Amino acid sequence: MNNKKSGTKTLLMSVVMSAPGPLIIGLGLLVGKSSTQIADFVRRSAELLGIIMAYIVYKITAKDGACDADKKERMERLSNIFVGAMMCLGGSLMLWIAFTADNAEKGNVIPGLIIALLGVVANTIFWIKYRNLNKAEENAIIAVQARLYGAKSLVDSCVSIALLSVVLFPGTEISFYLDFIGSVVVAVYLIWCGIKTIAEKVKGFCKNPIIKSMYTADPAPMVFGDTLYLYTSHDEEELKNDFYTMRNWHCFSTKNMVNWKDHGEIFSLEDISWADDRAWAPQAIERNGKFYLYCPVHKKDGGMAIAVGVSDSPAGPFKDLGFPLVDEGDWNDIDPTVFIDDDGQAYLYFGNPQLRYVLLNEDMISYDKTVGVVNIPMTEESFAKGSHTTGTSYAEGPWFYKRNGIYYMVYAAFGEGKKDEHLAYSTSHSPIGPWTYGGVLMTEEGGVFTNHPGVVDFKGHSYLFYHTGELPGGSLFHRSVCVAEFTYNADGSIDTIAKCDGVKAI
Ligand code: FUB
């Protein structure tokens, strides 16, 4: 059973199991009362209302669908505030009753005692269940239920001790103090849990794929200020010639990895007079207050070339230069990746199956023609043995960056005998190589022929963006952008990263 189904079922069970408590204790109050017992009735009723609320909200928010994180967050927050308020209400009434009730007449507290003992067992089971569910997939509602059931389990333990003393030593000082102290301890603990729950901000979760409103591919993240901008290519739903049908590029942004703003189409083949097809994998960068979007396109006169869109805003719209930046007259000129080194030199790597680079000039829209287009030696030491046409695994989609003095080249690769792309990486101590093969970054399992990396550090977290065919109707021509958080090893190496469910809010 998946986590969502299990969460819904557990919450429903909570409602069903919590309902008889207030009922039986309520009936018990007709025949006898103690401060603990009256307060227990009020607390259980308030908790039941909180659990019903949590069940309803969880059923609505845990449904797979558009990642409308704002709405989900608002509803979860509201539900948790309600549950927190119920805890505070239960605790406050218990406190009030403990100090004001007439404890002279205890009467029959046996029903309350039985319920409390059963409660210790049941609540502990639920507490463990909610904790495990939340561990498997963090969820604000489930996390609060784990807290509530932890408190309920402790409360029932205290109540059992107090009521047992009333049964064993009726009318004695021991029973009076245990009853009184039990109520106060439990009440204070509940109020504390309630306040904590009300004050807590809901930590959201964005489920992969990030963009659910359309098919997106070739993710290219760029951090600017406190925002992460994500540029993507766009797989049209309707295919032309049963091949990639891609006409424009889109931009999305986030400040917390969960709430995404859609900036819409920011550049398109319509804006590039000399191109007619294949709006493929882009990458953007900022320099001196201007934003540059490098995009592979098919030229009207044949072959692929790299176009540059320029804008004053990271979210575009971008304006084409009017001519290709790189045009080798072949099909290799795709998948540009751009990086500005500490000394100000900008590099534009690109290519399938040959990895190439040019040294960009300061203007970012021309390159050093004296150096020209440099071919990187495609060796097994650099890119491992593989099944692409160079005999190595390197295929396409390079992503070039530097971190702690190490230059990284992450790329889509074909392993030996493999027909689908995995992601791999190589490193170097220089921006122009030689490159040393590092390992597999993401396996081909669960993918769709191509994959495409975009690596970024954002607010102290490291992310790998990639694409799969996870959206309904997904295929090798209908891809969707996903993200996984990962960490670097102390020596800068990276272990294989699993395709995952999504990322937590930061
Ligand atoms: O999206 C079209 C092409 O597929 C990209 O340019 C490649 O990287 C691969 O993802």
pLDDT digits (tens, 9 = 90+) for 19-76: 887 888 777 777 766 666 677 787 788 889 999 999 999 988 876 544 456 677 788 8
Residue 66 shares a structural domain with residue 180: yes
Task: Give yes or no: residues 196 and 217 share one domain.
Answer: no
Residue 250 beta carbon below 6 angstroms from any ligand 1 atom = no
What SS3 state is found at 392?
A: strand
Distance (Å) of CA 498 to CA 167, 362, 371, 398, 502? 57, 38, 39, 19, 11
Reply yes or no on whether 218 is catalytic: yes
CB-based contacts of 42, cutoff 8 Å, min separation 6: 89, 90, 93, 94, 97
Per the annotation, the verdict on 200 as an active-site residue is: no
Entry pTM: 0.70
The whole-number average pLDDT for the span 339-359 is 98
pLDDT category of residue 365 using cuts at 50, 70 and 90? very high
The predicted model gives 274-299 an average pLDDT of 98
Distance (angstroms) between ligand 1 centre and the Cα of 476 equals 10
More confident residue, 200 or 63: 200
**Three-state DSSP class for 502?**
strand
Q: Which of 179, 271, 333, 396 is catalytic?
A: 396
| Ligand 1 atom nearest 467 alpha carbon | 10
Q: Which two tokens stand for residue 418?
A: 């493999």
| Dihedral of alpha carbons 274, 278, 283, 286, sign | positive
Q: Which two tokens stand for residue 144?
A: 């609060």
Instruction: Say if ligand 1 is within 6 A of residue 335 CB.
Output: yes
Do 236 and 376 share a structural domain? yes
Q: Identify whether 353 is preceded by a cis peptide bond (ω within 30 of 0).
A: yes
Give me the sign of the Cα torsion angle 325, 328, 330, 333: negative
Question: What distance in Å separates the CA atoms of residue 494 and residue 492, rounded to the nearest whole number?
Answer: 7
CATH number at residue 186: 1.20.1510
- Please, which residues have CB within 8 angstroms of residue 176's CB and are 6 or more apart in sequence? 103
Q: Is 235 helix (H, G, I), strand (E, B) or coil?
A: strand
- Whether cis (ω within 30° of 0) applies to the bond prior to 434 is yes
Query: Which of 218, 320, 444, 470 is flagged as catalytic?
Result: 218
Q: Could you tell me the pLDDT band of residue 262, with boundaries at 50, 70 and 90?
A: very high
- Going 32 to 38 to 42 to 44, the CA torsion angle's sign is negative
pLDDT at position 66, please? 41
Most confident range (mean pLDDT) of 99-103, 165-169, 297-301 is 297-301
Q: Is the shortest distance between the CB of 218 and ligand 1 below 6 Å? A: yes
How confident is the model at residue 64, as a pLDDT?
A: 54
Separation of alpha carbons 283 and 44, rounded Å: 56
Where is the domain boundary, 162, 185, 203? Answer: 203
The total number of structural domains that make up the chain: 2
User: Does residue 217 line the site of ligand 1, with CB under 6 A?
Assistant: yes
State if residue 447 touches ligand 1 by the CB under 6 angstroms criterion. no
Q: How far is the CA of 334 from the centre of ligand 1 (A)?
A: 8
Domain that holds residue 373: 207-504
* 71 contact partners, CB below 8 Å, separation of at least 6: none
What CATH number is associated with residue 429? 2.115.10.20
Atom of ligand 1 nearest to the CA of 218: 10
Same domain for 460 and 425 = yes
Instruction: Read off the pLDDT of residues 131-163 as tens digits, 9 standing for 90 and up.
Output: 999 888 778 899 999 999 998 898 889 888 888
How many angstroms separate the alpha carbon of residue 354 from the centre of ligand 1? Answer: 15
Cα of 362 from ligand 1 centre, angstroms: 28
Is 309 in contact with 273 (CB distance < 8 Å)?
A: no
Q: Are residues 272 and 420 in the same domain?
A: yes
Q: Of 148, 177, 203, which residue sits at a domain end?
A: 203
Cβ–ligand 1 distance for 40 under 6 Å, the answer no
**Does residue 488 contact residue 462 with C-beta atoms inside 8 Å?**
yes
Mean pLDDT of 490-505: 94
Last residue of a domain, one of 180, 203, 226: 203
On whether both 124 and 47 belong to a single domain, the answer is yes
Tokens encoding 117: 């003992």
User: Any residues with CB less than 8 A from the CB of 372 and at least 6 apart, and which?
Assistant: 358
Distances (CA, A) of 139 to 123, 347, 484: 19, 42, 17
Mutation probe of ligand 1 site: the residue of 216, 248, 334, 475 with most atoms within 8 A of C-beta: 334
Q: For residue 396, how far is its CA from the centre of ligand 1 (angstroms)?
A: 8
The letter for the amino acid at 66 is A
Q: Is the CB–ligand 1 distance for residue 147 below 6 Å?
A: no
Report how far ligand 1's centroid is from the alpha carbon of 452 (Å): 7
Pocket probe mutation, ligand 1, options 335, 465, 466, 480, max atoms within 8 Å of Cβ: 335
Q: How far apart are CA 87 and CA 84, in angstroms?
A: 5
DSSP state of 108: -
For β-strands 319-320 and 337-340, DSSP reports them as unpaired
